Structure 1
Amino acid sequence: MTEEDSIYGAVQSVEELGRLARAHRKQRRLTLETVSGLGNLSTRFLSEFERGKETAETGKVLKALRTLGLEVIIQPRGRATPAHRTGRTREETS
């Protein structure tokens, strides 16, 4: 597993999701302003989302994640992520 892969995994809270999105954005050397322009989202919203604001609008959160090149996969806890979706199992990312 690379250092980059270590930021990804199961998310248990809005704060963790925001922290993951921020780490992903910074790894790619993108500013809030750049993501804002690409996704037609305000920098204020993006900043609040990255800080784990509980009331962030779900549609905008999903749009921000798509803009960053991330996706949300819903599955029962403990089940391995299908290899055809990610190229590796969930256990390999833990």
Structure 2
Amino acid sequence: MYQQIAGLFGQRLYFINKTKQYSNKLHINSEKCIGCNKCVALCPMKNIELKNKVAVSGNRCTLCYRCVNHCPKQAITLLGKRVIEQSNIDKYL
């Protein structure tokens, strides 16, 4: 339990400076995207929009990973070329 709390605070402290500014590193693979609109609905910054039934990202990403974790085709990445695992809070409850 204490290790989880320490890890959470450690991660927050590491990323706090990285999220003060917006990122443009969000990448959406247009070949994989099916235009389901989940990422558009989940993005708190309204950074993603659908154009011609394909999701397109802007430059206002806050690295919340909501879009990455809920994309049914794993078409969205922030770090790296492919998604290894998708996680959300339900997995840990």
TM-score range with shorter-chain normalisation? 0.3 to 0.5
TM-score for the superposition, normalised by structure 2 = 0.33
TM-score for the superposition, normalised by structure 1 = 0.32
Is the radius of gyration larger for structure 1 or structure 2?
Answer: 2
Larger proportion of strand: 2
